């Protein structure tokens, strides 16, 4: 468990990130509060998963340990490498406990300790609160020199991961060693054509829900002017190698495809898996599909390179 002194040190060091100032939000509507309770209560944590809660950089996190004997694991007593995963939920839903099963699959396959931060949610905490929390966790975990942890994220967490990686290029800690994105939400204008041509095939996300989530997160800021909230048009030069997954039938297909093209154009190594007939964040939500198992194995190979 992190001490109060450690947390205060992290906050002082975080000043070097030059993040936008925190802003006041507003109370979440009752239906959103109830939805949060319902989805969290429905989360099933598999029996026997080695996980615990911790405070890292002053931010509550769920930490899932790799199993003994896994590649890069801790059978010999050495500390395993770390993978930080930022969860999705449109910046307004989600809690780490809902991602423990997925984090366990990642930890078991990669031999990494998987850290899932419980970053603050909108509308109570609008942009940039989630980014401040992600940066605090990164500041506490990343060494000043050498390889940083692996960074991953799904949906809104994918957008947050890209924003964090963009910021980490210019701060005195190690940037992510690898960046793994699952159906990332990168363009908060929700203006891409795939919102239209995949509207019928995507049952998990829609232009209406994206706009509502973006409004709650941005609260008066224009998405097109906030590259750390909507990083689709940010300069990707200097980002680490990227592994990207999306479904060809989801409304965020264009977010994934445009980012992959722009990153490749900036000489960032990009490996992209665009797979048909699977939903938004499919490696997370359909664990029994063989293609999801293959995706997790692709992550293990990618982070082991």
Is 40 an annotated catalytic residue? no
Q: Which residues contact 132 (CB under 8 A, 6 or more apart)?
A: 14, 19, 22
Is 280 an annotated catalytic residue? yes
- 152, 155, 194, 230: the catalytic one is 155
pLDDT in tens, 169-210: 999 899 999 999 999 999 999 999 999 999 999 998 999 999
Q: Strands 242-247 and 179-182: what pairing?
A: parallel
pLDDT of 14 reads: 83
pLDDT of 70 reads: 45
pLDDT of 118 reads: 98
Q: In what order do the strands lie in the sheet with 82-86?
A: 51-56, 59-64, 113-117, 82-86, 150-154, 179-182, 242-247, 270-275
- 13, 104, 183, 250: the catalytic one is 250
Is 74 an annotated catalytic residue? no
Quick one: how far is CA 50 from the chain centroid? 21
What SS3 state is found at 18?
coil
What is the biggest distance separating any 2 CA atoms in the chain, rounded to whole angstroms?
52
Residue pair 231/237 in contact (Cβ under 8 Å)? The answer is no
pLDDT of 73 reads: 44
C-alpha closest to that of 46 among 97, 89, 95:
97
DSSP per-residue string spanning 66-114: PPTTSTT-STTSPPPPEEEEE--STTTS--GGGGHHHHHHHHHHH-PEE
- 125, 230, 280, 292: the catalytic one is 280
C-alpha closest to that of 182 among 80, 33, 284:
284
State pTM to two decimals.
Answer: 0.94
Phi-psi region of 13 (alpha: psi -120 to 50; beta: other; left: phi over 0): alpha
Consecutive 10-residue averages of pLDDT for the chain (305 residues)? 56 84 97 96 90 97 81 60 98 97 97 98 98 97 92 98 96 96 97 96 93 97 96 96 98 98 98 96 96 98 94
């Amino acid at each position: 468990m992190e001490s109060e002194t450690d947390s205060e040190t992290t906050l002082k060091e975080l000043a070097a990130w030059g993040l936008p100032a925190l802003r006041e939000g507003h109370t979440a509507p009752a239906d959103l509060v109830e939805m949060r309770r319902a989805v969290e209560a429905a989360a099933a944590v598999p029996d026997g998963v080695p996980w615990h809660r911790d405070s890292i950089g002053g931010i509550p996190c769920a930490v899932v340990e790799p199993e003994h004997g896994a590649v890069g694991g801790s059978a010999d007593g050495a500390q395993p490498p770390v993978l930080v995963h930022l969860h999705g939920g449109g910046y307004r839903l989600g809690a780490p406990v809902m991602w423990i099963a997925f984090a366990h699959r990642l930890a078991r396959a990669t031999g990494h300790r998987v850290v899932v931060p419980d970053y603050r949610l909108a509308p109570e905490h609008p942009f940039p609160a989630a980014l401040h929390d992600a940066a605090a966790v990164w500041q506490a975990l990343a060494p000043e020199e050498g390889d940083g942890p692996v960074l991953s994220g799904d949906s809104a967490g994918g957008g947050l991961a890209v924003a964090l990686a963009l910021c980490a290029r210019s701060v005195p800690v190690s940037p992510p060693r690898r960046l793994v994105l699952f159906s990332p939400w990168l363009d908060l204008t929700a203006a891409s054509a795939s919102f239209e041509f995949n509207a019928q095939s995507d049952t998990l996300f829609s232009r209406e829900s994206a706009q509502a989530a973006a409004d709650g997160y941005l609260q008066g800021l224009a998405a097109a002017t906030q590259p750390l909230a909507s990083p689709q048009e940010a300069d990707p030069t200097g980002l680490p190698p990227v592994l990207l997954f999306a479904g060809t039938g989801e409304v965020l297909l264009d977010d994934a495809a445009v980012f992959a093209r722009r990153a490749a154009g900036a000489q960032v190594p990009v490996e992209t898996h665009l797979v048909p007939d699977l939903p938004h964040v499919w490696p997370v939500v359909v664990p029994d599909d063989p293609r999801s198992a293959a995706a997790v194995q692709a992550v293990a190979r990618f982070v082991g390179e």
